[in-house]
């Protein structure tokens, strides 16, 4: 089948004021929705970042795919590479959101179109996308309750406050967990940290463990803690954690932390490509890699990462940024195809509002903490054109064009500075 048309639509999706080590989420997160249409009219879907550098490259590559054989992923790679002006090598280093780093442009763009091509191929032959990845090792994919410290509403009130309310205290975080677990049935909990004093964040973990003794817990300060702080906080929460995610910066820092504590360390910051993977293995920096097909170069690369993890005795889990249902289903299909992905994956999906979803029927259900792989062709979701048009209109009505949590934080507190590690 030949590709007849490619459409890349930028959208803006309401995002709550979630706090992290780099600042705070802006009122909208940007996503790109990709449609690749075959010459028989079948459409493959994909979703990725909507930040301007990513979007510009997607819009540049799109027309170059017209006429291409929709089964040729090698051809796709060549056509993506031909549009890169400046192929930078790795070293996203301590990026909180590695997908936004310029070094990831080739991997991001290839991944965005690869997912759409897999969706198209699977639809053509009438099988779920996971079947093209080797078949499902599991029918349901577990996700975790991803908790955030947050304000009750955005600065300057661009729209009505979200339904989650403020979360700046231990009690409020436990309340947020109760609500999220009550609504979605998650069995694991992840706390985004690096925001308040580390001891308060440790108190949150202790309180969460008390409230949910059977749940697996993780804390992720996004490298906001110095090594000695990470060791000190580890002593307080060591019995409560499933893994310790990016507490301290750098491959060397993580390796030293592991030497001192022996607790499994997870990352989406220091191992973001295969070169960093190699260096991490040499140093024994991390014991669990958080995959993310959006910036690891697609679904097949994620499977390669999973095999590498297996080879080196490293665990694999999954990272998330703010996203909608097309991304969620792609994450679920690739997670279902990795037999050794044994942890509940991260997802920001509960933070996105129902009426901002762009797929038919609204949000993808999460039941008992899991997304079920549907017995439907491709990703199993359809684009709702009215919903898409509405979110594209939202994109046109705002002036955010690239994520900047630090600049957003300065609107609340002009004195605020990005300091890493802060504590
Ligand atoms: O959305 O604020 C956020 C997260 O902190 C995100 O940017 C991170 O990339 O979820 C991510 C993580 O696990 O580090
Ligand atoms: Mg993380």
Q: Counting atoms of ligand 1 from 1, which one is nearest the CA of 146?
A: 10
322-356 confidence digits (pLDDT tens): 999 999 999 999 999 999 999 999 999 999 999 99
Q: Which ligand is nearest to the CA of 148?
A: 1
Neighbours of 245 (CB within 10 A): 28
CA 38 to ligand 1 center in whole angstroms = 35
| Residue located nearest, by CA, to atom 2 of ligand 1 | 20
- How many residues are given for the chain? 423
Give pLDDT tens digits for 166-196. Answer: 999 999 999 999 999 999 999 999 999 999 9
Pick the ligand that lies closest to the CA of residue 320: 1
List pLDDT tens digits, range 197-247.
999 999 999 999 999 999 999 999 999 999 999 999 999 999 999 999 999
196 Cβ contact partners less than 8 Å away, ≥ 6 residues apart: 149, 168
Pocket flag, ligand 1, residue 220 (CB < 6 Å):
yes
What residues are annotated to the active site?
192, 319
Give the Å distance between the CA of 220 and the centre of ligand 2.
Answer: 5
Q: For residue 284, give Cα distances in angstroms to 137, 250, 288, 367.
A: 28, 12, 11, 36
Domains and CATH numbers, the chain: 3-127+385-395 (3.30.390.10), 131-372 (3.20.20.120)
- Nearest-CA residue for ligand 1 atom 7 is 97
Among residues 67, 169, 60, 164, the alpha carbon closest in space to that of 112 is found at 60
Regarding the beta carbon of 202 and ligand 1, being less than 6 Å apart is answered no
| Residue-by-residue pLDDT tens, the chain, 423 positions | 999 999 999 999 999 999 999 999 999 999 999 999 999 999 999 999 999 999 999 999 999 999 999 999 999 999 999 998 665 544 444 467 777 788 899 999 999 999 999 999 999 999 999 999 999 999 999 999 999 999 999 999 999 999 999 999 999 999 999 999 999 999 999 999 999 999 999 999 999 999 999 999 999 999 999 999 999 999 999 999 999 999 999 999 999 999 999 999 999 999 999 999 999 999 999 999 999 999 999 999 999 999 999 999 999 999 999 999 999 999 999 999 999 999 999 999 999 999 999 999 999 999 999 999 999 999 999 999 999 999 999 999 999 999 999 999 999 999 999 999 999
246 with 193: CB under 8 angstroms? no
245 Cα: distance to centroid of ligand 2 (angstroms): 6
**CB of 320 sitting under 6 A from ligand 1:** yes
């Amino acid at each position: 089948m030949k590709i007849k048309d490619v459409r890349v639509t930028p959208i803006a999706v309401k995002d709550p004021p979630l706090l992290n080590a780099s600042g705070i989420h802006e009122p909208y997160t940007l996503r790109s929705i990709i449609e690749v249409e075959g010459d028989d009219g079948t459409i493959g879907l994909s979703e990725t970042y909507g930040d301007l550098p990513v979007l510009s490259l997607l819009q540049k590559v799109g027309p170059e795919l017209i006429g291409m054989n929709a089964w040729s992923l090698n051809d796709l790679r060549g056509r993506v590479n031909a549009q890169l002006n400046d192929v930078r090598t790795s070293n996203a280093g301590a990026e909180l959101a590695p997908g936004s780093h310029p070094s990831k442009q080739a991997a991001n763009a290839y991944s965005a179109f690869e997912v759409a091509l897999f969706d198209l191929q699977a639809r053509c032959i009438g099988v779920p996308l996971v079947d093209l990845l080797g078949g499902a090792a599991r029918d349901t994919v577990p996700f975790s309750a991803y908790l955030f410290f947050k304000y009750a509403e955005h600065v300057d009130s661009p729209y009505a406050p979200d339904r989650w309310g403020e979360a700046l205290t231990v009690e409020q975080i436990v309340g947020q967990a109760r609500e999220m677990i009550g609504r979605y049935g998650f069995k694991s909990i992840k706390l985004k940290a690096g925001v308040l004093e580390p001891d308060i964040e440790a108190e949150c973990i202790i309180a969460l463990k008390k409230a949910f003794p059977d749940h697996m817990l993780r804390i992720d300060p996004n490298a906001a803690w110095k090594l000695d702080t990470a060791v000190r906080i580890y002593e307080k929460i060591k019995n409560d954690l499933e893994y310790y995610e990016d507490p301290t910066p750098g491959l060397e820092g993580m390796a030293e932390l592991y030497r001192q504590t022996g607790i499994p360390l997870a990352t989406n910051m220091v191992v973001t490509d295969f070169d960093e993977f190699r260096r991490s293995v040499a140093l024994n920096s991390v014991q669990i890699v958080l995959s993310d097909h959006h910036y690891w170069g697609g679904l097949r690369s994620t499977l390669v990462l999973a095999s590498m993890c297996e080879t080196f005795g490293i665990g694999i889990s999954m990272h998330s940024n703010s996203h909608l249902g097309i991304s969620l289903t792609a994450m679920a299909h690739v997670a279902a195809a990795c037999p050794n992905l044994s942890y509940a994956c991260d997802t920001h999906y509960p933070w996105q509002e129902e009426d901002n979803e762009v797929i038919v029927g609204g949000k993808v259900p999460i039941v008992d903490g899991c997304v079920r792989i549907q017995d439907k062709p491709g990703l199993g979701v359809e684009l709702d054109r009215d919903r898409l048009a509405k979110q594209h209109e939202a994109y046109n009505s705002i002036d955010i064009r690239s994520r900047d949590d630090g600049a957003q934080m300065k609107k609340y507190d002009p004195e605020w500075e990005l300091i890493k590690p802060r504590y």
